[in-house]
Amino acid sequence: MRHSKDIPLRPKGKIKSLRPLLRYLKPYKFQVAGAGFALLFASSAVLGMGAGLRYLVDNGLSKGNTDLLNQAFFILLSVTLLLAIASYARFYLVSWLGERVVADIRADIYRHLISMDIGYFETTRTGELLSRLTTDTTLLQTVIGGSISVAVRNTLLFFGGFLLLMITSARLTGYLSFMVPVVVIPIVILGKKVRTLGREAQEKIADISVHAEESLNSIRTIQSFTLENHENKRFSGHVENAMNAANSRIRMRAFLTALVICLVFGAIATVLWLGGHDVLTGTISGGQLSAFVFYSVVVAGAVGAISEVIADLQRAAGAGERLCELLAVSPNITSPQSVQQIAIEEANIHFDNVTFFYPTRTERPAIENFSLDVGAGKTIALVGPSGAGKTTIFQLILRFYDPNSGHIRLNGIDIKNISLERLRGAIGLVPQDPVIFSTSARDNIRLGNISATDDEIIEAARKASALEFLQKMPNGLDTYLGEKGVQLSGGQRQRIAIARAIIRDPKILLLDEATSALDSENEYHIQQALEQLMQGRTTFVIAHRLSTITKADHIILLNEGCIEAVGTHRELLQKNALYARLAELQFKSAA
């Protein structure tokens, strides 16, 4: 099983890669227009100062006219005030757009990720996805909320300033233009190097995120094996690699910036020397030279700013390409376009010659030629050695995966033709290692049925023998349970998961030995609650304890993905050596 588009390991980072993300600006066209107008006005005001400077020098200073000098001063102050207002509007609108667009992108990426099938997460590192959701989107925020505005503003200043340079003195502009290639060529050459180093730095940062996510999720194992120093050294190695990569990029950017400044202002100094001679010979006026100097500084500053922004744009382009590639990956498991309506008042499940290979383990099937009819309201116990395919049955019923061949039907309809929401909404799952979210006990139970009332939550907790210990907690059912339910014992976490299944009121129950982590007393109470819950519901139980096995309607003995035997507990004890051995091991473990 492959996804429609694989994620590249090293994006090209071309600026045009940002183009697909511009669609996120469409809903905010008024803000974009406002920012564009403010940017255009601010750029025009800056360029207008050069004409005012020329007028001031030629008519105010040179002729000793105090009135003109005062008039020019107040005009300059007015333009400065308007420039400040326009700059405020530009900065606010552009920064707001950056935050808003990146928030929309993050929401889209998260929505897309949680819609991906389970097989996708088997082949993609979670840390890398988190890096894209945080680091890459932060790069985009920097660009959309600042760098693009700076690039456009300085592009306008460059072309506008260059045009005014031509109008002021074509001869001096010709000299200045001759020096442009001397400035541009190093930017092009060294810019490629900066881009390469930027991509390497991004990859090193992604390695940090991957390692941190993996180690924090495994903190109990790390501490139980006293691996803190070992993990610190590994993490420090990743940090140093990222630091070295970033340092190489910074050093190259700093060198590029210094070289550009040296070449640009060296060129201006040369032109000033030539212009000074022109003033002395009367070819141009002092005001023209002053304006030319002003425009030269504006153009030089624009070139320097663009040279710095290009590196940011290229880094963001790499991030944008990574995000676009991520959004382009399509899930293998989706609801059908033409959904078959189905009533699930009761659940008959039929496996028809099903064979399935996990995407990452294609050398042998997890289950092979698996056929089984389960009538509504029946309880089926799945037993067998580790790796026999018991959990795979659950994952196929939930349609986390699709069979490579064969069909699974619910009430006669292939589950591929049922909407995922409808199918999974009819299923209640209690895993052996339940997931507890970082919120309150009340909210954890409510996940089974988002619309459940507080009274229903309390009743579900009571039936799962969870109410007593929850009420003893500092804030009762509203107590924060910690990261992954760290404040709960294994048995308490499992009772929360059982309460979650009870409140769901499903037609199909999937129990991965729901009482395995409980002591004998609690197991008895939970077993009673589960027996009531299982009545009238089609139930699959991955069974390890004999108390579950003996009460099942049928026991399916699995071995290497195939059904080896079907029968009751007594029948299988008599006719199947593998089952007898498993049962004997259970008796020994119980003793």
pLDDT at residue 545, rounded to an integer: 65
Tell me the C-alpha distance between 419 and 342, whole Å: 10
Quick check: is 4 in a domain? Answer: no
In three-state form (DSSP H/G/I as H, E/B as E, the rest C), the secondary structure along 410-450 is ECCEEHHHCCHHHHHHCEEEECCCCCCCCCEHHHHHHCCCC
Beta pairing class for 367-374 and 508-512: unpaired
Most confident of 13-27, 212-226, 398-412: 398-412
- Who's near 387: CB < 8 A, 6+ residues apart? 560
1 pLDDT higher than 50: no
Burial label, 166 (beta-carbon count in 10 A; 0-12, 13-18, 19+):
middle
Quick check: is 129 in a domain? Answer: yes
Tell me the C-alpha distance between 157 and 162, whole Å: 8
Quick check: is 348 in a domain? Answer: no
Mean pLDDT, the chain, whole residue set:
80
Instruction: Give the pLDDT confidence of 122-148 residue by residue, as tens digits.
Output: 777 777 788 788 778 877 777 777 777
- Do 396 and 500 fall within a single domain? no
Instruction: Give the pLDDT confidence of 74-83 residue by residue, as tens digits.
Output: 777 887 888 8
- Who's near 497: CB < 8 A, 6+ residues apart? 430, 431, 434, 435, 436, 514
475 pLDDT higher than 90: no
Distances (CA, A) of 183 to 5, 25, 161, 253, 545: 41, 34, 17, 15, 78
- Do 107 and 35 fall within a single domain? yes
Q: How confident is the model at residue 60 (pLDDT cuts 50, 70, 90)?
A: low
23 pLDDT higher than 50: yes
| Token pair listed for 278 | 């022109």
8 pLDDT higher than 60: no
Q: How confident is the model at residue 591 (pLDDT cuts 50, 70, 90)?
A: very low
9 pLDDT higher than 50: no
11 pLDDT higher than 60: no
Structurally, how many domains does the chain consist of? 3
List of long-range contacts for 26-30, beta carbons under 8 Å, 24+ apart: 28/97, 28/100, 28/101
Quick check: is 343 in a domain? Answer: no
- Do 134 and 257 fall within a single domain? yes
Which one is predicted more confidently, 48 or 351?
A: 351
Final residue of a domain: which of 488, 505, 522? 505
590 pLDDT higher than 60: no
> Once rounded to an integer, what is the mean pLDDT over residues 402-409?
91
Residue 401 is given by DSSP the state: S
Final residue of a domain: which of 452, 480, 505? 505
Instruction: Give the pLDDT confidence of 143-191 residue by residue, as tens digits.
Output: 777 777 777 888 888 888 888 878 877 777 777 777 767 766 776 677 7
Tell me the C-alpha distance between 294 and 279, whole Å: 16
pLDDT at residue 64, rounded to an integer: 59
- Do 300 and 384 fall within a single domain? no
Q: How confident is the model at residue 329 (pLDDT cuts 50, 70, 90)?
A: confident
**The domain that contains 485 carries what CATH number?**
3.40.50.300
Residue 23 is given by DSSP the state: G
With a pLDDT cut of 90, the percent of the chain lying above it is 5
